[in-house]
Amino acid sequence: MKFTAYIANEIKENNWLNEHLVIVVPSQRATKYIMAELARAYNKPIFSPTMITINELIKKHAQSNLLETSRLLLSLYQAYKKVEITEHQSFEDFLSWGPMLLNDFEEIDRYLLDTNQVFKNLKSIKELESWTLEGKELTDAQKKFMVFWDVLPELYSELQLILANKERLSAGMAYKKLAENTNVLFQQDAETFYLFAGFNALSTAELQLINN
């Protein structure tokens, strides 16, 4: 049985189809398939349930505080300019690695990771990668690279502070915030019933959101 048919049958058998039902799906594509299966299961005109993607759910409860990637990169560069290192790169050079670092920060938030432990482990890995069996001294480029890894915790914290002062959130922060306070999902309707359907790879924040 297809998962969409299974979901439709569960909704019908448990009498979940009412104005309080909200079906959360991974993408818009899934909505039309679930609606088709619901129509097939009931075989009559039915009340159309609210269907929303997980990203739309997060965005809805982040209200207007979510920042788009380009503005997040500007905030990250602003944070980078504040950390104490010998020489800061230009914004053009920053763009060669800034998006990747921003994505890593997003993953840290979405997986509710211990930032201190994450950065400690990353630094250890990079130290091992830079170490040579011959015991040769690190080049200037390698030393600069290692210094950068030293300031990652400060850079992450500075970005968080900048966004907090602006009352803005990254997507990862929004996922984390909602996972840690699911009560806001029921502010408008205490009887809301959320049905998460079609997910096969969940971040820790998403899993915590569903379990709560």
Q: Flag whether pLDDT at 128 surpasses 90.
A: no
Give the model's pLDDT for residue 133: 44
How high is the pLDDT of residue 188? 86
pLDDT tens profile 181-194: 999 999 889 999 99
| 193 CB-side CA count, 13 A | 10
Integer CA distances (angstroms), 208 to 21, 103, 178, in order: 20, 21, 9
The pLDDT of residue 121 is 83
- Give the separation between CA 123 and CA 131, rounded to whole angstroms: 12
Sorted by sequence, the CB contacts under 8 Å of residue 53 that are 6+ apart come out as 24, 25, 26, 27, 28
Cβ neighbours, 10 Å, residue 187: 9
Cα distance between residue 200 and residue 51, in whole Å: 18
- What is the H or E stretch that residue 138 is in? none
**37-52 per-position pLDDT tens digit:** 999 999 988 888 999 9
Q: What is the pLDDT of residues 147-182, one digit of tens each?
A: 677 889 999 999 999 999 999 999 999 999 999 999
Tens digit of pLDDT for each residue in 67-116?
999 999 999 999 999 998 878 889 998 898 899 999 999 999 999 999 88
pLDDT at 142: 59
Strand extents, DSSP E, 77-184: none
Q: Provide the pLDDT for residue 178.
A: 94
- Above pLDDT 90, what percent of the chain? 60
What Cα–Cα distance (Å) separates residue 206 from each residue in 9, 61, 111, 150, 165? 24, 14, 8, 30, 26
Cβ distance 108 to 172 under 8 Å?
yes
Q: Do 67 and 174 touch, CB atoms closer than 8 A? A: no
What pLDDT is attached to residue 57?
94
Q: What is the pLDDT of residues 138-148, one digit of tens each?
A: 566 556 666 67
Answer with the residue of higher pLDDT: 140 or 18: 18
Residue 159 contacts residue 57 (beta carbons within 8 Å): no
What is the rounded CA–CA span in Å between residue 7 and residue 38? Answer: 8
The confidence score (pLDDT) of residue 65 equals 87
Beta strands 50-53 and 193-196: pairing type? unpaired
Question: What span, in angstroms and rounded, lies between the C-alpha atoms of 27 and 180?
Answer: 23
